[in-house]
Amino acid sequence: MSAISVFTDAPRAPLKQETRILSDFKRDAHPEKVYLAGREYLSEDGHSRMLPLVWKIKQQIGSDPTLTPEYLSALGLSEFSKRVVELALGKDSPAIVENRVLGTQTVGCTGAVRLGAELLRRWCNRTASWCGPILLPSPCDDSLAGTFEAAGFADVRSYRNWDAKSLGVSVEELCKDLAEVPEQSVVVFSCPGHYPTGAELTTDDWKLVAELMMKRRLFPFFLMSEQGLCKSLDRDAWPVRHCVSLGMEVMCAQSLCHTLGLYGEQVGHLLCVLKQNSFLLPVQSQLERLVHSLWSSPPTDGARVAATVLSNPAYLAEWQEGLRGCVERCMLNREQLREKLRLLGCPGQWDHLTNQTGLYCCTGLNGRQVEFLSRRRHVYIMPDGCLNISAINSRNIDYVAESIHLALTAL
Amino acid sequence: MSAISVFTDAPRAPLKQETRILSDFKRDAHPEKVYLAGREYLSEDGHSRMLPLVWKIKQQIGSDPTLTPEYLSALGLSEFSKRVVELALGKDSPAIVENRVLGTQTVGCTGAVRLGAELLRRWCNRTASWCGPILLPSPCDDSLAGTFEAAGFADVRSYRNWDAKSLGVSVEELCKDLAEVPEQSVVVFSCPGHYPTGAELTTDDWKLVAELMMKRRLFPFFLMSEQGLCKSLDRDAWPVRHCVSLGMEVMCAQSLCHTLGLYGEQVGHLLCVLKQNSFLLPVQSQLERLVHSLWSSPPTDGARVAATVLSNPAYLAEWQEGLRGCVERCMLNREQLREKLRLLGCPGQWDHLTNQTGLYCCTGLNGRQVEFLSRRRHVYIMPDGCLNISAINSRNIDYVAESIHLALTAL
């Protein structure tokens, strides 16, 4: 028996923040504990749910005897891809008409980021020794840098996407960071619905940013996992469409997990808008090759459900109606939380809560206050002072508001 | 508008063999065309099917209102992992008792290979600058080398796993190749049911190979996607269990896609047997980190179905009975094809067809003969002369046998 292990030198890797917070929460035995650090959209009852329409379609597909079990091709279900591309770019997008858009079904949003990163790393303008850096928004998901690093990008930096003073994004700071980075860098935008802050640029801000990106030949890589959960399907996709309208090449990692309630199905997609149609077949062949080295083919069921919803006008309308309900509920939660904090006489301005959009929300609380919330009040939010606004409901809102008030006044 | 594209230099990547053959087949308009180059287990009716039990359980899980949609953790469904580990190693495995086995649910078998490769690449014995090479069986899936290369292994070689003279594996040639490779190399075994040849080592051969592996400190990486489709669940896992019984560290990429008929669900798993329990938590934390950079969390539905089947003794027995039916049908196809070739007076010995096991079968036909089959007879098999034996049925067997006979006599 060989004496040594190949794993002798493996150190313990740090836990992902979400994992750590969830495990702290699970250990907490307090009866009033509240968990606001999750990722899923929760309904008023505190559970993640599929819309009734999605549930019905999932049942139909699951019991359809004509759908035999087989592997999808590497690029996934083409009907899904077609519909999701139209969802992002709009049916009449010139890029679609000119046939220079590539869509690949992926394993969730992370799978799309990884696939896109590997494609960029291998085939971006090699004659110009293009090799990054990657610019990530700060704060962002703590695994995002690792995904780009694992794909081979050694130089991962960040740009300021949250200004603690103004409690929002400062477009001046953002542009300053973009102006300083080397030309042809990749800039990642988590938009719409920035995770974890929920803070957004205005349309005018976006115009400025896009112009600067063009001038400096920066490459936009969008993470779009909340399309339809911020304002509306079309308005949420505006920044991507604007960049495409300027003739820019764009990548966009899409996820329909939130909007369809299909988390376990990992319904993801990578969209690439290319400069011209002649790049389509080479880039597609490279994507296929990369997929064969990652997961061979993506899972089927979620893509079938999504394609069914998106390709039927009646279903599409019903789905949009359901999404509108989620958007309104999140906004109501934001307004109610702001009002409760005001009524409690909580120090500071709270308008930023309602200026943000989507599932996530940055309160502006600092690290000590966040720790106070979990230790003293058993309320678990993210370390950056952010929380999932859909996790607030009529049963916990008073306790949460009171806890935030105490964190700001008792410390 | 910036004039150049980041993709200017992307060349067209070669198509995967399977993709090319399938697209040739689809273009072929001949009414008697036969496709034997697929990967899925096909029933007598020519379609892939779930066992009735699996179908029933999938329906139950799909309509269970208590299962709310949510992301799994990075390592996946723990009940699934527990059962799949037991399936591979046996419930009483000392490695399980000593708590030195790690299981991670993955996106299919390829996802498991990629994850295992990334783990090996990053954390194998770094003080000894362990860095490969990787030895793959020849022939094997034409994407396998790319998966290891993408994970960072620059030196990917192969060992002889098919001997055209004896129409099987020559253990002497295999051992010769293993004796020449640097110590601490990783050796990949596609077993049981080698894709694409179906050729197997005997138990005595395996004992020799394992001894040599031990002596030369080679690391075994098993690809086990047909456990239960070759002989039986227990007998098929014997090589893995033998290596574990010798105290070796082992990785095993498992897939239950074939045996459950859940192809679209991508039910995969990576099993790591470690030298000692003290490596468990560090290696687990590294696996979590790698998963967060690949797909964040695996898909849910297939794992739930698999866990339900494997944890209920009555279901397990029914599933095994169904698998036995598949094994018998494949063996019957092998025997019938051999007999038909004999009756046609086809030159050569055909006993290798029945010596092989599992879904795939190497006929021994050469490249020209394979081309004859597709061009002149519209029968599509893999370039190495291999085919999926389950794709043969009572409607096509005479035509296939006659075509093989012609390929050997008319050229």
> Cβ contacts (< 8 Å) between A223 and chain B: which residues?
none
**Span A363-382, pLDDT tens digits:** 999 999 999 999 999 999 99
Distance in Å, alpha carbon of A408 to nearest chain B alpha carbon = 33
Q: What is the pLDDT, as a whole number, of residue A9?
A: 81
Largest Cα–Cα distance in chain A? 71
pLDDT cut 70: percent of chain B above it: 98
Enter the tokens of residue B221.
């990486």
Enter the tokens of residue B230.
């070759």
Task: Kindly tell me if the per-residue pLDDT of B3 is higher than 60.
Answer: no
Enter the tokens of residue B67.
């299962």
Q: Say which range, A2-11, A210-219, A261-270, has the weakest mean pLDDT.
A: A2-11
Q: What is the pLDDT, as a whole number, of residue A332?
A: 97
Q: What angle do CA A61, A63, A65 make, to 5 degrees?
A: 100
Question: Residue A87 burial (CB < 10 Å; 0-12/13-18/19+)?
Answer: buried
| A405 lies within 8 A of chain B by CB | no
Q: How confident is the model at residue A149 (pLDDT cuts 50, 70, 90)?
A: very high
Q: What is the pLDDT, as a whole number, of residue B2?
A: 46
Q: Which one, of B173, B110, B184, lies nearest residue B138 by Cα? A: B173
User: Cis (ω within 30 of 0) for the bond into A299?
Assistant: no
Q: How confident is the model at residue B6 (pLDDT cuts 50, 70, 90)?
A: confident
SS3 assignment, position B402: helix
Mutation choice for A interface testing from B273, B295, B297, B359 by most A CBs within 10 A: B295
Mean pLDDT of A301-305: 96
Rounded distance between C-alpha atoms, residue A119 and residue A252, angstroms: 13
Q: What is the pLDDT, as a whole number, of residue B258?
A: 95
Sign of the C-alpha dihedral computed for residues B316, B319, B321 and B327 taken in this order: negative
Q: Which one, of B230, B248, B139, lies nearest residue B191 by Cα? A: B230
Sign of the C-alpha dihedral computed for residues B369, B375, B378 and B383 taken in this order: positive
Window 81-120 of B, Cβ < 8 Å to A: 107-111, 114, 118, 120
Rounded distance between C-alpha atoms, residue A159 and residue A170, angstroms: 11
Rounded distance between C-alpha atoms, residue B57 and residue B306, angstroms: 9
**Yes or no, beta carbons of A288 and B71 under 8 Å apart:** no
Window 132-161 of A, Cβ < 8 Å to B: 143, 146-147, 149-150
Which residue from A62, A150, A214 is facing B62, i.e. has the nearest CB? A62
Q: How confident is the model at residue A1 (pLDDT cuts 50, 70, 90)?
A: very low
State phi, psi for B64 to the nearest 5 degrees.
-80, 110
Mutation choice for A interface testing from B55, B68, B118, B250 by most A CBs within 10 A: B68
Chain length of chain A: 411
Could you tell me whether strands B386-388 and B360-362 are parallel, antiparallel, or unpaired per DSSP bridges?
A: antiparallel
Q: How confident is the model at residue B131 (pLDDT cuts 50, 70, 90)?
A: low
Q: What is the pLDDT, as a whole number, of residue B193?
A: 87
> Cβ contacts (< 8 Å) between B281 and chain A: which residues?
12
Mean pLDDT of B182-209: 94
pLDDT mean across residues, chain A: 94
Rounded distance between C-alpha atoms, residue B406 and residue B346, angstroms: 8
Q: What is the pLDDT, as a whole number, of residue B368?
A: 97
Enter the tokens of residue A175.
């542009």
Strands (E), B81-133: 101-107
Window 224-253 of A, Cβ < 8 Å to B: 246-249
Mutation choice for B interface testing from A77, A126, A294 by most B CBs within 10 A: A294
> Cβ contacts (< 8 Å) between A258 and chain B: which residues?
none
Per-residue DSSP letters for A165-204? Answer: TTTB--HHHHHHHHHHSPTT-EEEEE-SS-TTT-----HH
Mutation choice for B interface testing from A217, A248, A296, A297 by most B CBs within 10 A: A296
pLDDT mean across residues, chain B: 94
Task: Kindly tell me if the per-residue pLDDT of A10 is higher than 90.
Answer: no
**Yes or no, beta carbons of A69 and B264 under 8 Å apart:** yes
Rounded distance between C-alpha atoms, residue B97 and residue B85, angstroms: 12
Which residue has 């999938």 as its token pair?
A: B58
Which residue from A12, A289, A292 is facing B282, i.e. has the nearest CB? A12
Mean pLDDT of A333-353: 96
Task: Kindly tell me if the per-residue pLDDT of A253 is higher than 70.
Answer: yes
Rounded distance between C-alpha atoms, residue B403 and residue B411, angstroms: 12
Question: Residue A122 burial (CB < 10 Å; 0-12/13-18/19+)?
Answer: middle
Rounded distance between C-alpha atoms, residue A404 and residue A398, angstroms: 10
Q: What is the DSSP letter of B385?
A: S
Residue B107 near residue B295 (C-beta atoms within 8 A): yes
Distance in Å, alpha carbon of A354 to nearest chain B alpha carbon = 26
Distance in Å, alpha carbon of B352 to nearest chain A alpha carbon = 29
Q: What is the pLDDT, as a whole number, of residue A59?
A: 92
Which residue from B5, B15, B69 is facing A263, i.e. has the nearest CB? B69
> Cβ contacts (< 8 Å) between A58 and chain B: which residues?
62
CATH T-level assignment (fold) for domain A78-311: Aspartate Aminotransferase; domain 2 (3.40.640)
Per-residue DSSP letters for A79-147? Answer: HHHHHHHHHHH-TT-HHHHTT-EEEEEEEHHHHHHHHHHHHHHHHS-GGGT----EEEEES--TTHHHH
**Yes or no, beta carbons of A9 and B120 under 8 Å apart:** no
Instruction: Report the half-sphere exposure of B203 (CA within 13 A, side-chain side).
Output: 7
Enter the tokens of residue B217.
């400190």
Domain B18-49+316-409: which CATH number of 3.40.50.10880, 3.90.1150.10, 3.40.228.10, 3.30.70.600 = 3.90.1150.10
Mean pLDDT of B14-18: 93
**Which residues belong to CATH 3.40.640.10 in chain B?**
78-311
Helix-then-strand count for chain B, H and E: 17, 11
Q: List the beta bridge partners of residue A168.
A: A163
Mean pLDDT of B27-50: 95
> Cβ contacts (< 8 Å) between B72 and chain A: which residues?
264
- Chain A with chain B: Cβ pairs closer than 8 A: 280
Mean pLDDT of A43-70: 92
Rounded distance between C-alpha atoms, residue B359 and residue B38, angstroms: 10
* Nearest residue of chain A to residue B145 (CA atoms): A293
Could you tell me whether strands B101-107 and B267-273 are parallel, antiparallel, or unpaired per DSSP bridges?
A: antiparallel
Which residue from A2, A50, A125 is facing B6, i.e. has the nearest CB? A125
State phi, psi for A156 to the nearest 5 degrees.
-110, 120
B6 or A22: which leads in pLDDT: A22
Q: Please report which helix (H) or strand (E) contains residue B373, including its range.
A: helix B367-377
Q: What is the pLDDT, as a whole number, of residue A7?
A: 87
Q: What is the pLDDT, as a whole number, of residue A341?
A: 97
**Yes or no, beta carbons of B265 and A58 under 8 Å apart:** no
Q: What is the DSSP letter of B22?
A: H
User: Cis (ω within 30 of 0) for the bond into B133?
Assistant: yes
Question: Residue A214 burial (CB < 10 Å; 0-12/13-18/19+)?
Answer: middle
Task: Kindly tell me if the per-residue pLDDT of A308 is higher than 60.
Answer: yes
SS3 assignment, position B328: helix
B336 or B191: which leads in pLDDT: B336
Q: What is the pLDDT, as a whole number, of residue B10?
A: 87
Enter the tokens of residue B116.
């295992």
Rounded distance between C-alpha atoms, residue A20 and residue A371, angstroms: 13
Enter the tokens of residue A330.
């999140």
Mean pLDDT of B392-397: 98
> Cβ contacts (< 8 Å) between A4 and chain B: which residues?
125, 275
**Yes or no, beta carbons of B294 and A70 under 8 Å apart:** no
Question: Residue A207 burial (CB < 10 Å; 0-12/13-18/19+)?
Answer: middle
Which residue from B130, B146, B261 is facing A293, i.e. has the nearest CB? B146
Enter the tokens of residue A160.
């300021």
**Span A160-203, pLDDT tens digits:** 999 999 999 999 999 999 999 999 899 999 989 899 999 999 99
Q: How confident is the model at residue B243 (pLDDT cuts 50, 70, 90)?
A: very high
Mean pLDDT of A297-323: 97
Q: What angle do CA B354, B356, B360 make, to 5 degrees?
A: 110
**Span B103-117, pLDDT tens digits:** 999 999 999 999 999
Q: How confident is the model at residue B65 (pLDDT cuts 50, 70, 90)?
A: confident
Per-residue DSSP letters for B60-80? Answer: HHHT-TTS---PPPTT--HHH
Window 291-320 of A, Cβ < 8 Å to B: 292-302
Rounded distance between C-alpha atoms, residue A177 and residue A171, angstroms: 10
Mean pLDDT of B9-28: 94
Rounded distance between C-alpha atoms, residue A204 and residue B61, angstroms: 48
| A129 lies within 8 A of chain B by CB | no
Q: Which one, of A333, A273, A228, lies nearest residue B1 by Cα? A: A273
Q: What is the pLDDT, as a whole number, of residue A131?
A: 63
> Cβ contacts (< 8 Å) between B276 and chain A: which residues?
5
**Which residues belong to CATH 3.90.1150.10 in chain A?**
17-49+325-409
Task: Kindly tell me if the per-residue pLDDT of A280 is higher than 80.
Answer: yes
Q: Which class does domain A17-49+325-409 fall in?
A: alpha beta
Window 161-200 of B, Cβ < 8 Å to A: 184
Q: What is the pLDDT, as a whole number, of residue A125?
A: 56
Alpha-carbon separation of residue B186 from A11, A295, A375, B153, B272 (angstroms)? 21, 21, 47, 11, 14
| A73 lies within 8 A of chain B by CB | yes
The amino acid that residue A131 corresponds to is C
Task: Kindly tell me if the per-residue pLDDT of B126 is higher than 80.
Answer: no
Q: How confident is the model at residue A2 (pLDDT cuts 50, 70, 90)?
A: very low
Q: What angle do CA A312, A251, A226 make, to 5 degrees?
A: 50
Per-residue DSSP letters for A4-49? Answer: S-TTTTPPPPPPPHHHHHHHHHHH---TT-EE----S---TTSS--
Q: Please report which helix (H) or strand (E) contains residue B268, including its range.
A: strand B267-273
